[in-house]
Amino acid sequence: MAKGSRSEFDLIGRFFADLGASRADVLLGVGDDCALLEIPADVAMAVSIDTLVAGTHFFHDCDAEGLGHKSLAVGLSDLAAMGAAPAWATLALTLPERDDAWLAAFARGFGDLARTYGMRLVGGDTTRGPLSVTVQVHGLVRAGAAVRRDGARPGDILWVSGTLGDAGLALGLIREGRPVDPALRTRLERPVPRVELGSALRGIATAMIDLSDGLAADLGHILAASGVGAELEFTSLPLSPAVASRIASDGDWSLPLSSGDDYELCFCAPSERSGLIASMAAGLGCALTAVGRIHAEPGLILKGPDGAPMRLSRTGYDHFANNT
């Protein structure tokens, strides 16, 4: 598409002008030079941006509806990890060519998830080039109430939501050309951001992060920011039957500890809050599992079933490390 061409505006009008929930705080949405958004007093705006590149973050021939869902879900997961309420999104789309069936499916996946969380697409950019999707999300949280990475304290209990390693297992199977159970595949292609959980943990969690690069690496960010260490018990990690049986067969704990794309939340909370947190799980529809404890001494200790430290073949995904 030539910049500013008729077909570009037609494409935007057709697929992206009316996506997501309508919101009274959107004074002006898609169509002008800028969107105009109204922010209440005493509220902070939480902002996060993520890019998904074809061939790096998703397969070129992946399902477009799933890609629309996932490109927004990863941002929603960041908002969840701050305890922020989703409000607005912007979308920068680079497309090799115009394909209306693909665009309609992408917009459906994006729009359905946006509506689920009361979020509105308020603007973006559309260019031609190698397929990539960048989504910026904007959330609202009462000033001072956001849950950051730097609040963990010695003695806090370490928790994770859901189960870990499912997306990593699905990705591995797809790469090997092996069959993947549909439910497992959904964990990779349509992650469910833990938005309600993140909001419910405001005022309870001392520190929180979403798991995009694997528990070991992402927990490491909480520990570094908080200036503390932690002990993590392998035997406590919440696993789906598929991941549990993979570990039983090869003894490698990398899936729950260092594979990416889980989009679960990892958080710390004082031990007095453990009963309350355990009782929250049912209402939120996801498991909450205590997996360790925060220590004053820096470093992450990984303890196996016999109390001995366990082997890890990878520590997490890092685009600029030499991890192939």
Q: List binding-site positions.
A: 33, 48, 50, 57, 78, 124-125, 149, 210, 212-213, 261, 317
Q: Can you tell me which of 66, 123, 139, 165 binds ligand ADP, judged by CB under 6 A?
A: 123
Adjacent-strand bridge partners of 229: 295, 299
Interatomic CA distance for residues 158 and 153, integer angstroms = 10
What residue 184 binds from Mg ion, ligand ADP, none (CB within 5 to 8 A, per partner kind)?
none
Question: Of 128 and 295, which has the nearer Cβ to ligand ADP?
Answer: 128
Task: Identify what 299 binds: Mg ion, ligand ADP, none; CB under 5 to 8 Å per kind.
Answer: none
Smallest separation (angstroms) from ligand ADP to the CB of 13? 8
Closest to 71 in 3D by CA, of 291, 261, 289? 261
Of residues 27 and 282, the one with the C-beta less far from Mg ion:
27
Does 38 help bind Mg ion (rule: CB under 5 A)?
A: no
Measured from the CB atom, the residue of 67 and 158 that comes closer to ligand ADP is 67
Residues 25-44 that bind ligand ADP (CB under 6 A): 30-33
Cβ nearer to ligand ADP, comparing 115 with 221: 115
CB-nearer residue toward ligand ADP: 132 or 163: 132
List residues forming the annotated binding site for substrate: 57, 261, 317
- Under the binding rule (CB under 5 A), the answer on residue 33 touching Mg ion is yes
Q: How far is the CB of 194 from ligand ADP (least distance, A)?
A: 26
Candidate list 99, 100, 125, 318; residue touching ligand ADP; CB under 6 A: 125
Nearest CA among 91, 90, 98 for reference residue 128 = 98
CB 89 within 8 A of CB 136: yes
Which is closer to ligand ADP, CB of 136 or CB of 289? 136
* Strand spans (E) along the chain: 26-28, 36-37, 43-53, 85-95, 120-128, 132-142, 157-161, 207-210, 229-233, 265-269, 288-295, 299-303
Place of tokens 């494409």: 11
Nearer to ligand ADP, 124 or 292 (CB): 124
The Cα–Cα gap between 297 and 309 comes to 17
DSSP class of residue 162 equals S
Stretch that binds Mg ion, among 33-41, 49-57, 101-109, 195-203 (CB under 5 A): 33-41
Quote the radius of gyration of the chain (alpha carbons, Å): 20
Residue 318 touches which of Mg ion, ligand ADP, none (Cβ within 5-8 Å per kind): none
Q: Strand, coil or helix: what is 285? A: coil
Span between the terminal Cα atoms of the chain, in Å: 34
Position 10 contacts ligand ADP (CB under 6 A): no
Minimum distance between the CB of residue 30 and ligand ADP, rounded to whole angstroms? 4
Relative orientation angle of helices 182-189 and 64-82, to the nearest 10 degrees: 60
Residue 311: CA atoms inside 13 Å, Cβ hemisphere, count? 5
61 binds, among ligand ADP, Mg ion, none (CB under 5 to 8 A by kind): none
Phi-psi region of 270 (alpha: psi -120 to 50; beta: other; left: phi over 0): beta
Q: Which stretch binds ligand ADP (CB under 6 A): 96-104, 118-126, 230-238, 309-317?
A: 118-126
